[in-house]
Amino acid sequence: MKTKIITAALLSLILTTIACSDTSSPVEAKTNGNSLETENLESAIINAPTEDLSDTEKEGLLHMREEEKLARDVYLHFYYKYGMRIFSNIARAESNHMSAIKTLLDKYELEDPIIDDTRGVFQNKDLAKLYTDLTAAGDVSLLEALKIGATIEDLDIKDLMDYEKEVDNQDIILVYENLTRGSRNHLRAYMRQITRNNGTYEPQFISQELFNEIINSDRETGVTSVR
């Protein structure tokens, strides 16, 4: 499996390409999802067979734990700046994603890379820099913040698809499939808002064909049982 390292060149590409209101109760940085769907998913994870983990499976879980935190933290930043409900709603969903990955880490007795859950704090230095760069880019305007949201979901989908190709554990596949569905839903939501704000977005990580398929299809629901 390819190691997910976000280089300075990739950061430049993301930010350069992106550059060419309702409110709700603030979402705290340590919010954990407690929806019925989340509880059902976590129950399915626990009840699924415990299988041997490959090094690439471990790498994927550790990386995605922090990448989902990246999404949550950036969206919380934009929520506090713009007060737009889409950011708090999706930040809450990202917290659910973090919780699902944490359940897998606990099940397989892997050390959680999130030692400090403060917004913008990461063990992965590339993700820490990406947080700084993406929040700065989105601070320019609401439209740019919405484009950053689309970029993060674009990246999440690509990484989850890549990691899933290297996985054979049923519980990890279940989680990755659910997280990918969630990211597709989030991308749809951001694209609706980008369009309403007279903006456009071109995919940076997934193919144009897959992007078009996603934004032209209906919202998906999660699956909470292994195959």
DSSP letters spanning 143-161:
HHHHHHHHHHHHHHHHHHH
Question: What's the pLDDT at 6?
Answer: 42
Angle at 51 between CA 162 and CA 116, to 5 degrees: 65
Of 182, 20, 220, 28, which is closest to residue 101 (Cα–Cα)? Answer: 182
> C-alpha angle with apex 199: 160 to 82, nearest 5 degrees?
80
Greater confidence (216 vs 23) lies with 216
Q: Does residue 224 belong to any structural domain of this protein?
A: no
Q: Which domain holds residue 129?
A: 34-215
Work out the pLDDT band at 38, boundaries 50, 70, 90: confident
Q: Look over the chain and give the mean of its residue pLDDT values, rounded to a whole number.
A: 87
The predicted pLDDT at position 32 comes to: 42
Report if residue 220 sits inside a domain. no
Residue 29 CA to residue 180 CA, distance in Å, equals 22
Q: Which is it for the CA torsion 176, 181, 182, 187, positive or negative?
A: positive
Q: How confident is the model at residue 16 (pLDDT cuts 50, 70, 90)?
A: very low
Per-residue pLDDT tens digits for 47-93 = 899 999 999 999 999 999 999 999 999 999 999 999 999 999 999 99
**Residue 98 within any structural domain of the chain:** yes
Residue 2 within any structural domain of the chain:
no
Tokens in use for 138?
């989105």
Q: Examine the pLDDT at 207 and tell me if it is beyond 50.
A: yes
**CATH number of the domain residue 91 falls in:** 1.20.1260.10
The reported pTM is 0.84
Quote the DSSP letter at residue 117: -
In a domain, 200, yes or no: yes
State residue 40's pLDDT score: 85
What phi and psi, each to the nearest 5 degrees, are found at residue 167? -110, 140
- Whether 19 is in a domain gets the answer no
pLDDT at 7: 38
Assess if residue 10 is contained within a domain.
Answer: no
What value does the mean pLDDT take over residues 96-109? 96
User: With 60 as the cut, is the pLDDT of residue 29 above it?
Assistant: no
pLDDT at 204 over 50: yes
pLDDT of 225 strictly over 90: no
Q: For residue 173, which phi and psi values (nearest 5 degrees)?
A: -60, -45
- The answer to whether position 55 is within a domain reads yes
Count: domains in the chain: 1
pLDDT (tens digit per residue) in 139-192: 999 999 999 999 999 999 999 999 999 999 999 999 999 999 999 999 999 999
d(CA 84, CA 75): 10
- Give the model's pLDDT for residue 36: 60
Percentage of the residues of the chain whose pLDDT score is greater than 90: 76
Side-chain-side CA neighbours of 88 within 13 Å: the count stands at: 15
Distances (CA, A) of 21 to 6, 32, 75, 139: 33, 25, 15, 16
